[in-house]
Chains A and B, each alone.
Chain A
Amino acid sequence: MSGGGDASSLEPGVAPEGVVPLKVRLRRAERMRRVKAFGLVAPLLIFVLVTFALPIITMLWRSVEDGEVSAALPRTLAALKEWDRKALPGDEAFRALSLDLAEARAEGTLSAAARRLNYDVNGMRSLIMNSARRPPDAAAADIREAFIALDGRWGGIESWAAIASAGGPLTDFYLLGALDLKRGVDGSIARTSPDHAIYLDVLGRTFRISLSVTVLCLMMAFPLAFLMATQPAHIANLLTIMVLLPFWTSLLVRTTAWVVVLQNEGLVNNLLQGLGIIDEPARLIYNSFGVHVAMTHVLLPFMILPLYSTMKTIKPHYMRAATSLGAPPWLAFMRVYLPQCLPGIAAGCLLVFILAIGYYITPALVGGAADQMLSYFIAFYTTDSVNWGMASALGVVLLTATLILYGVYSRLVGGGAIKMG
């Protein structure tokens, strides 16, 4: 920017030949500043995109993607395109299947397709794999009979419907499954059989546990945060350290510590038995009680800290003014103090609730079989059964439910009221 002469001596808006007007130069400077600012933020932005947005998009994609069967059985799918799903498909579908099975087996794509079909109809995996080991000759005149002789299930519409509806490229199979629904042979949506419909219950359980943990946290954090905000500095500091110390300890360590405390021969039971309050050890762990205790403890700092930082800003004069105007303490608290705490309460509750929803390791270690939350099933499908479609679909359900709840919550509390302090 050395082209200009003495710009200040010029009349605004009138620039001599060859001199860039001030307005343009200002705009350029402004643009430079913005580019620099963006450059500084860019690493974080890219980081967030790569580590947060991308995995979520991949997850959303996986929950509807359906490519295994079309990769392995393309001819069969083409032959089934016009099939009405009422009677067995024609011979050409059987012939196509025979060719596809042999080829997909040789290429190694068959196993993934068999696994995908097995999600829909139990037994399809072995049906496909066994049939591919010795498929009937595609040129045989009685190909249909040959297949049915090989395995009677090829004579059932169910097996063929499973192949026809897994043609992809997109499917609602996993998402429906995550909501305890499935498509019948004719393509209509129906409820999963009661013996296997667990995910809505699990989702409800996840929200129920998270909600009660949030309430417990609030009840315990409020008095403590109040104490921290109102005591003289040295006591407040001590309290803060006592809150932060466990906060800095590993989640796993804190959870295992609860196992030691709550187990049959643990501290609590020994104490209660020693005092003669109970004769038999009480069952405090590997049930819903243990989950609540451990999760509340682990999440408590996330409630205390926003509450504390909000309360710290509330001037004590307001309460004094209220009492001097004749309000009894409880009324002054309800009408003057509590409303000013609301942003902290809102932030703390939201933080605790959302963290609690995704909890996995704590319920896994201190809960019973009936206390596992949705994350447990996501982990099960990711690592134990390698059914990533179902894992993603459960993730999508959890994400959607959380977003809806957040929407309702911010509407109720008022978006601007949620403050981290």
Chain B
Amino acid sequence: MNRHLAVIAVLSGAALFTLAGPASARDLTVVSWGGSYQDGQKIAIFDPFKAKFGIKMIDEPWDGGVGVLRAKVQGGNADWDVVQVESEELAIGCEEGLFEKLDYAKIGGKDAYMPAAVNPCGVGAIVWSFVLSYDGDKLKAGPKGWADFFDTKKFPGKRALRQGPKGNLEFALIADGVAPADVYKVLATDEGVERAFKKLDGIKNDLIFWKAGAQPPQLLASGEVVMTSAYNARITAANEKDKKNFQIVWNGSLNTIDSWVILKGSPNLAQAYEFLNFAGQASVQKDMTKYVSYGFTNKKAMEGVPPARLAVLPTAPENMVNTQVIDDEFWLENLDRLNERFNKWAAR
């Protein structure tokens, strides 16, 4: 990208903001992941926000990708103000200066949020988790952690992991006795990578790989596998909608956080802060857990969540024991190479 263009874009955005002030040209635009998730957000966050503040606001869906944000901000015609991004987009976009640096004083202070949800460029919106899951109707005494996942004697049958190295190398190391807090330290060394692949070797013939988040519940439902890695909300949704009895093992799970960011040069900065502040309220986040089983980021949002609901949230205190936040820095740096290594391993 032309750096002059970027400078002009940022300057003109800033100029527009100072000139236009509160009387902005267009309505506050909030962008999220679409689907049933955004439908839930509409009821729990967007509509109450509009009603309470009388702010005109529209919401749009997107599919992710830092390239989209880059084009919007550097192209100078950003028509979005607040966007929900994944942690990798947060890291890259923050480095490239695509997001406003947040003033936490305007959104309740850093102490209101869980430490991992506080980032200079974005504030955590939800926590989701990469977990081990099995069908409670088929396995009465199910696995307790990743060590059991890798134990084909104790639990014969096929198991599924997501295609690619991400997550799987961590799980292999946890199964091999590495504490979740130390996995990235170990993975940073060549010996650590070898160790992870060696562990995967042990179950290679019993492994199949899924690609889309919808597959793990199907693989469990059809009896194709006895256990699988999965996204937690998919498992809960299958239990609710299809009356399944899939169990989630939180021990050794990997968490990641989606965050709200304000695009650099937003003409609706004040309203955007107002929105972030509202979406970060404990009561709003608590409401949101009714619709999707993602974890909250406000420390107080737990109060008042029914125990049955709390049990399927990644941020319930008992579900956070022995878990680890996915290290985006590590994967940004190593994904290409470890993906090659993974495919070499798979083809062998």
**Which A residues have a C-beta under 8 Å from some C-beta of B?**
71, 107-112, 115, 118-119, 122-123, 125-126, 129, 194-198, 201-202, 205, 263-266, 286, 364-365, 368-370, 372, 377, 380-381, 383-387, 390
Given contact pairs A195-B340, A198-B343, A202-B343, enumerate 8 new A-B contacts (beta carbons under 8 Å).
Answer: A108-B6, A119-B336, A196-B341, A198-B340, A265-B222, A286-B208, A386-B65, A387-B336
**B333–A125 touching, CB < 8 Å:** yes
**Which B residues have a C-beta under 8 Å from some C-beta of A?**
1, 3, 6-7, 65-67, 92, 95-98, 158, 163-164, 207-209, 211, 222-224, 329, 332-337, 339-344, 346-347
CA distance A383 to B212 in the complex (A): 14
Most-contacted residue by chain B among A118, A119, A123, A266 (CB, 10 A): A118
Contacts of A195 in B (CB 8 A): 340-341, 344
Contacts of B346 in A (CB 8 A): 368-370
Contact of A111 among B65, B95, B222 (CB under 8 A): B95
Contacts of B158 in A (CB 8 A): 264
**Given known A-B contacts A108-B96, A264-B224, A369 and B336 have beta carbons under 8 A apart:** no
**A201–B347 touching, CB < 8 Å:** yes
Contacts of B340 in A (CB 8 A): 195-196, 198
Contacts of A372 in B (CB 8 A): 163, 343
**A265–B223 touching, CB < 8 Å:** yes
Contact of B97 among A108, A122, A266 (CB under 8 A): A108
Shortest beta-carbon distance, A158 to chain B, in Å?
A: 15
**A385–B336 touching, CB < 8 Å:** yes
**Given known A-B contacts A107-B3, A264-B224, A385 and B329 have beta carbons under 8 A apart:** no
Contacts of B65 in A (CB 8 A): 383, 386
Contacts of B339 in A (CB 8 A): 380, 384-385
CA distance A110 to B98 in the complex (A): 13
Q: Which residue of chain B has the shortest Cβ distance to A265 in the bound complex?
A: B223
**B224–A265 touching, CB < 8 Å:** yes
Shortest beta-carbon distance, B60 to chain A, in Å?
A: 20
**Given known A-B contacts A198-B340, A368-B346, A369-B209, A118 and B333 have beta carbons under 8 A apart:** yes
**Given known A-B contacts A196-B341, A368-B209, A369-B163, A110 and B67 have beta carbons under 8 A apart:** no
CA distance A316 to B96 in the complex (A): 71
CA distance A60 to B139 in the complex (A): 53
**A198–B6 touching, CB < 8 Å:** no
Can you show 27 pairs from A to B with CB atoms below 8 A apart?
A71-B3, A107-B3, A108-B6, A108-B97, A109-B1, A111-B92, A111-B95, A112-B96, A115-B332, A118-B333, A119-B336, A194-B344, A195-B340, A202-B343, A205-B347, A264-B223, A365-B211, A368-B346, A369-B163, A369-B207, A370-B346, A372-B343, A380-B164, A384-B335, A385-B335, A385-B339, A390-B336
Shortest beta-carbon distance, A74 to chain B, in Å?
A: 11
Contact of A126 among B7, B223, B333 (CB under 8 A): B333
CA distance A384 to B92 in the complex (A): 13
**Given known A-B contacts A264-B223, A384-B335, A390-B336, A107 and B95 have beta carbons under 8 A apart:** no
CA distance A194 to B340 in the complex (A): 10
Contacts of A384 in B (CB 8 A): 164, 335, 339
**A370–B347 touching, CB < 8 Å:** yes
CA distance A123 to B336 in the complex (A): 12
Contacts of A368 in B (CB 8 A): 208-209, 346
Contacts of A111 in B (CB 8 A): 92, 95-96
CA distance A385 to B158 in the complex (A): 29
CA distance A136 to B197 in the complex (A): 39
**A108–B95 touching, CB < 8 Å:** yes
Q: Which residue of chain A has the shortest Cβ distance to B7 in the bound complex?
A: A107
Contacts of A264 in B (CB 8 A): 158, 222-224
Most-contacted residue by chain B among A265, A365, A370 (CB, 10 A): A370
